[in-house]
Structures are given as C-alpha cells and as structure tokens.
C-alpha cells in the first residue's frame, strides 16, 4: 500500500486514465472492425475519416503507438481501394 498522499493520488489518477483509455481504445477497435466489414465503397469512404481521426487521437495520447495507427490507416485505405 502507498505511504504518501501523492502516491495515493497517482493511484487514483492512473485508474481513471486506464478506464478512459480502455474505453476509447475499444470504441476505436469496434469502428475499425465495422469499417472492415463494409462492402459498399461509398459508405466506407464516409466512415474512413472519422476512424482515422480516432486512431490519430489514440496515437497522440500514447494509448497506441503512432506506427500502429499509421499501419491501421494504411490497411484500411487499401481495403477501401479494393472495394468495387
């Protein structure tokens, strides 16, 4: 158990941040999955900017690595390009 007030506060802050990060990461993963499941090119093009924005936000906040965000965006872009 922590012995200092500051350590107790850091524990509280870390748990709140962890919950928030888990929520936004899961929401983004669901959006990526939904985009991959689409077969209509127009719908996919509409959804792509919002998914990219979510990925960039996660990378900016260090929830995921910036290269992972970049790789996901690239794969999604290629997936949209393949759609007929």
Domains with residue ranges and CATH for the chain: 5-82 (1.20.58.110)
- pTM reported for the whole predicted model: 0.86
Distance CA 69, CA 74 (A): 9
Which residues of the chain are modeled with pLDDT < 70? none
Pairs from 72-79 (Cβ < 8 Å, separation ≥ 24) = 72/32, 76/32, 76/35, 76/36, 76/48, 76/51, 76/52, 77/48, 79/35, 79/36, 79/44
pLDDT tens, position by position, 9-33: 999 999 999 999 999 999 999 999 9
Distance CA 10, CA 5 (A): 9
């Amino acid at each position: 158990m922590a012995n200092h007030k500051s350590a107790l506060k850091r524990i509280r802050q870390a748990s709140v941040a962890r919950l928030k990060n888990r929520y936004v990461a899961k929401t983004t993963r669901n959006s990526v999955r939904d985009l991959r499941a689409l077969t209509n090119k127009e719908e996919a093009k509409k959804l792509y900017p919002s998914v990219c924005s979510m990925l960039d936000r996660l990378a900016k906040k260090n929830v995921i690595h910036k290269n992972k965000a970049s790789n996901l965006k690239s794969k999604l872009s290629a997936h949209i390009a393949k759609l007929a």
